[in-house]
Structure 1
């Protein structure tokens, strides 16, 4: 039986790309019984039912999955934040990083609107915190700065773009590949679904190489899927030191022999990042307490 990848899902229809064709497929009832729903990004096996119509019979194992937007088998998340208008928010960036790390997806930080920055030293100082941890940070502007670098990281990868509202994600994507929205419109036309809307998640192949998940972005930034004892794993610099804490399961609050608190005091861990960890931990603990009331 033929195999392919779901590039778009709409209602109970799944559009599977197999070689150069797109098949409109339904899913077998057995998936519903197993509480398994096919999602965009899934690699599937399907049987042909009619001209360009099929029935999904098997979903291949997923290497990762995001819930909102619902998509699987993503290689990397391009987290797009503007330097100004809106101002760069390290708190919001850290929240995105936790969610992406938890989904086992590689994050790449992309900063837009460099041309609006008055104090570049201040911005670079904030971004250096993330570069020192090990994250790749790409700086871009409407003058074309960083576009070549972005194109390079997209090649051969499935990438999802997300970030603050109003940071210029659409402008960035259009600069990277002006053909992107033309391709999006073509797929919508092929599927007979009219104009493209960002409420629909779909995979678009870039002419310059790679695949972009065109999504409405993260519709939820809460931590419902994360428990208080695992949060430190998603702050990579804290995770590295947590094994050196005296007590197993240390939450890095006020426990004696906490290697993380010691590193914060010595300046090895950025104080603001640690404060964000504490803020997120408090939020998660409150969610856990509410759950058991």
Structure 2
């Protein structure tokens, strides 16, 4: 299957977005320099990026107070979860330095390439449910994204009240069995039954992000964990006075029971078209012992003789379900990649 080509309208839109971002960046840099030179700012202090709004970021200081800040011109794009140094001001501050990130989660964007969306995440929580039906290739998209970013993944089975239906339970058990065998953590919960103790436990003292297909109950879980989140989002929109849709940007929340949750539709789903076949293979942890062992260095693991992966599948050392999922994702790489 050939690569997906951009239309003239899509190409024009890409250029338009890039031009607008360049103008916003210049405006941001000018304002940040003006504040720094004007001597209107306080001393440097440590901060945490809570969210990103246009040319500004919201920064939380060590005293838990928050302020909108411009970004100094010599800094890269900042994202939610970044730890920074900033100077507070009466109306707006300036971020002057970025601390090293221990992880960075990116997603491919057909208009801007790879886009960083959140930093310093400890675990990616892949949410699934008995309904909509969970599919291995969808789950594996999230696991590959987490594995290749060096972030620990966790499978969260939501809506466990639906497991009372035998046919749904059988489907879920079949889907989850290969992941349990590989050592992936699987946690069960249900926002409908208001029993989130298992989920709360795995979120404590961690920086987590939810991912998963629509309809699995991510929003219900977020609302149950953070009942004031919707109110706070509304307040931010009023503060901005420009109808800012805060749900389009990653936002960091401190959980009342401990830990941090970064919530954003932008990092709930992952495309993988930016990856090469070799990078995709690295996202399947059970493939590691067999990579580079095939007779041919450019083995595609399809029908080549002495293919180590195919032999491992035949011997039961790699599950057939996971290998089928890998093949589906390989086929999607070129089909989904824009040119």
TM-score range, shorter chain: 0.7 to 0.9
Match of 2:117 in 1: 70
Matches of 1:220 and 1:113 in 2, distance apart?
Answer: 20
Question: So what's the TM-score if we normalise by structure 1?
Answer: 0.86
Q: Residues 205 and 139 from structure 1, CA distance in 2 versus in 1: closer, same or farther, beyond 3 angstroms?
A: same
Q: Residues 184 and 154 from structure 1, CA distance in 2 versus in 1: closer, same or farther, beyond 3 angstroms?
A: farther
Matches of 1:28 and 1:22 in 2, distance apart?
Answer: 18
5+ residue gaps, structure 1:
none
Matches of 1:88 and 1:273 in 2, distance apart?
Answer: 14
Shifted more, 180-189 versus 11-20: the winner is 180-189
Q: CA RMSD in A?
A: 2.6
Q: Give the CA deviation at 1:203.
A: 0.4
Match of 2:25 in 1: none
Q: Residues 152 and 52 from structure 1, CA distance in 2 versus in 1: closer, same or farther, beyond 3 angstroms?
A: farther
5+ residue gaps, structure 2:
1-43, 108-115
Matches of 1:153 and 1:243 in 2, distance apart?
Answer: 36
Higher RCO (CA < 8 A, seq sep 6+): 2
Q: Which residue among 323, 326, 339 is the counterpart of 1:274?
A: 323
Question: So what's the TM-score if we normalise by structure 2?
Answer: 0.75
Aligned pairs, number: 283
Asked if 1 retains the 8 angstrom alpha-carbon contact of 2:83 and 2:99, the reply is yes
Q: Give the CA deviation at 1:61.
A: 1.5
Match of 1:51 in 2: 90
Q: Give the CA deviation at 1:181.
A: 3.9
Match of 1:261 in 2: 310
Asked if 2 retains the 8 angstrom alpha-carbon contact of 1:155 and 1:209, the reply is yes
SS of match in other structure, 1:96: helix
Q: Residues 38 and 202 from structure 1, CA distance in 2 versus in 1: closer, same or farther, beyond 3 angstroms?
A: same
Q: Establish whether residue 28 from structure 1 lines up as the match of residue 72 from structure 2.
A: yes
Match of 2:193 in 1: 143
Shifted more, 184-193 versus 59-68: the winner is 184-193
Q: Residues 40 and 210 from structure 1, CA distance in 2 versus in 1: closer, same or farther, beyond 3 angstroms?
A: same
Match of 2:152 in 1: 106
Q: Which residue among 69, 89, 100 is the counterpart of 1:61?
A: 100
If you compute each CA radius of gyration, which structure gives the higher value, 1 or 2?
Answer: 2
Match of 2:270 in 1: 221
Q: Give the CA deviation at 1:183.
A: 5.2
Q: Residues 189 and 75 from structure 1, CA distance in 2 versus in 1: closer, same or farther, beyond 3 angstroms?
A: farther
Matches of 1:153 and 1:193 in 2, distance apart?
Answer: 37
Shifted more, 258-267 versus 147-156: the winner is 258-267
Q: Which residue among 87, 90, 99 is the counterpart of 2:136?
A: 90
Q: More helix per residue: 1 or 2?
A: 2
